[in-house]
Chain A
Amino acid sequence: MSHGFLSPTGVEVTFLLVGVVTLGAAVVSVTTRQLVHAALWLVVALGGLAVEYLLLTAEFIAWVQVLIYVGSVVVLLLFGLMLTRAPIGRSPDADSGNRGVALGVAVAAAVALVWLVVDAFRTTWIELDGASAGTTEVTGESLFRHWVLPFEALSVLLLAALVGAIVLSRKRNADVDAASSGKAGAARPAGPSTRTAAGAKAAGRAAAGRAAARPGEQGAADAASGDAGRRAEGGER
């Protein structure tokens, strides 16, 4: 099968179109002045990315992308935005003086990545008609046969982040406990800041498949229950 840029197949055309949409959504999401709109455009961008994965036959990665990024990270983001400040309409302070620098970094990163990918894969073509190269089985095999060391290293990293989040949140609670030790059972102020909670939960989610995530739940759960403002379980720790 000959491959040429001048005789694109349907899949290639779709790939390009989705890519354009994804890029556009990403650009809008960093330029819009409306915070929540930015998050929603991010959904479009991440979803577009999932479609690209799908077109590249990496089915498993595509669904995981949707599960983790669209279903969880953006929800977390929106949660954080709603908890803090998300006015309807423009946010006057949704701009930064570092616009130029950010643009530079973004372009540099893009160039580096594109150069790297182009250099690495050059004329490698994915055979769309043959056996799928991105099924769960293939992905799992390559992950746990050839890339098991990086995988483990990553999980240790995530575990470290988890433990760190717990340590951060517990320390503050200990202070509060010391301060209000006289009033057992009295209502206590809400727990650690939502960002910490969010971080812990995101990490917990990322490490979902691993039993190692277990110690993280307690801290994240307590932090999350701060949403209700009722923390009756004050004396638990």
Chain B
Amino acid sequence: MTDALDVTLRLLAVFAAFLVLPLVVGQTEHKVMAHMQGRLGPMYAGGFHGWAQLVADGVKFAQKEDVVPAGADRRVFQLAPAVALLPYLLVLLVIPLGPGDAVGQAIDAGVFFALAVMGVGVLGSLMAGWASANKYSLLGGLRTAAQLLAYELPMLLAAASVAMAAGTVSLTGIAGAFEWWWLPWQIVGAVVFFVAGLAELQRPPFDMPVADSEIIFGAYTEYTGLRFAFFLLAEYAGIVVLCGLTTVLFLGGWHGPFGGDGLGWFWTLLKTAALAFVVIWLRVTYPRLREDQLQKLSWTFLVPLALAQIALTGVVKVVIP
């Protein structure tokens, strides 16, 4: 009975985080982006500095008509948002917040689970792109696929490096084995992982698959209402997941300068939030990469860097056992 209660509570907590954190990131993006552009951002909804803007957006999306184009493949079209969104919920389940038991569900091969399931999310974009019966959507889907294929490899290699360093592929284990000097040791891997993750999420400056000046909104062009909102939610949930993963893998998760394990959750959240800020910051700062630049960056720059990081990790691991 207590087991069932425990599981239910954990699931509820993860689900609540899944619903709240992406909205927090989205609202932060509204405000940070506005201020970086000398604006104020939303100021009306909710009264205080527009804090309820995304809630209002959600209500608006819920009221909209759910349109399926006449030429579309109906079932695939309707299924795609769920396929895009659910993987992030699953990944959020395994990201540890603190040491020991503070995790939705500890998984032995956590790194592999997280990366594998994140890769599945892209299927949603592909399905949407194909099923929309729209050439822009199809182009967006193609670009999504090309981007995923290019950037999953460096991401995986970077994660493999830190797994080698820790001698385990469990997320809790990796964060537990963290020492402060891992930061300079794994910094290249961290950057590669983070950049590749951004590209996999199609965040600017890697948002070629949804480049509005060329292909409207890529695979999501034909979507309206709640299904469209799901895609957007998937993007922001993706940011949370990516920042959480980077925190746990490369920034030491719950390790902080003071407070011990009791404040672990705080450090994890703080690092995640800082990374989310960086994600927004990068979006505001850099222009979109062209498709060929995008591919080149991955194959000629990130992959060699990740391989070099693996080599470095191996050497250090052998020299300092």
Q: Which residues of A are in contact with B by a Cβ distance under 8 Å?
A: 34, 36-37, 40, 43, 59-60, 63-64, 66-67, 70-72, 74-76, 78-79, 81-83, 86, 88-89, 132, 135-136, 201, 204-205, 208-209, 211, 214, 217-218, 220-222, 224-225, 227-228, 230-233
Identify A72's interface contact among B108, B149, B168, CB under 8 A: B149
CA distance A25 to B129 in the complex (A): 22
Residues of A within 8 A of B152 (CB): 71-72, 205
Q: Looking at the assembled complex, report how far the CB atom of B167 sits from the nearest CB atom of chain A, in whole angstroms.
A: 10
Decide if A225 touches B291 in the complex (CB within 8 Å): yes
Decide if B146 touches A224 in the complex (CB within 8 Å): yes
Number of A-B contacts (CB under 8 A): 151
Identify B160's interface contact among A40, A209, A224, CB under 8 A: A209
Q: Looking at the assembled complex, report how far the CB atom of A60 sits from the nearest CB atom of chain B, in whole angstroms.
A: 5
CA distance A59 to B307 in the complex (A): 26
Give 5 A-B pairs besides A40-B76, A71-B118 with Cβ atoms closer than 8 angstroms.
A67-B115, A71-B122, A136-B169, A228-B295, A232-B292
Q: Looking at the assembled complex, report how far the CB atom of A19 sits from the nearest CB atom of chain B, in whole angstroms.
A: 21
Decide if A208 touches B156 in the complex (CB within 8 Å): yes
Q: Does B213 contact A (CB under 8 A)?
A: no
Q: Does B226 contact A (CB under 8 A)?
A: no
Given A63-B109, A64-B116, A136-B109, are A230 and B291 neighbors across the interface (CB < 8 Å)? Answer: yes
Identify B141's interface contact among A71, A82, A204, A225, CB under 8 A: A82
CA distance A83 to B141 in the complex (A): 10
29 A-B pairs (CB sep. < 8 Å): A34-B73, A36-B131, A37-B73, A40-B127, A66-B117, A66-B119, A67-B115, A70-B116, A71-B115, A71-B123, A72-B148, A72-B152, A75-B145, A76-B145, A78-B141, A82-B145, A83-B142, A88-B133, A208-B157, A217-B299, A217-B304, A218-B299, A220-B299, A225-B292, A225-B296, A227-B142, A228-B290, A228-B295, A233-B292
Q: Which residues of B are in contact with A by a Cβ distance under 8 Å?
A: 71-73, 76, 107-109, 112-113, 115-120, 122-123, 126-127, 129-131, 133, 138, 141-143, 145-146, 148-150, 152-153, 156-157, 160, 168-170, 290-292, 295-296, 298-300, 303-304, 307, 310-311
CA distance A217 to B303 in the complex (A): 8
B107, B116, B157, B168 pick with most chain A CB within 10 angstroms = B116
Q: Is the interface of B mostly helix, strand, loop or mixed?
A: helix
Residues of B within 8 A of A232 (CB): 292
Q: Is the interface of A mostly helix, strand, loop or mixed?
A: helix
CA distance A74 to B123 in the complex (A): 8
Q: Looking at the assembled complex, report how far the CB atom of B34 sits from the nearest CB atom of chain A, in whole angstroms.
A: 32
Decide if B112 touches A82 in the complex (CB within 8 Å): no
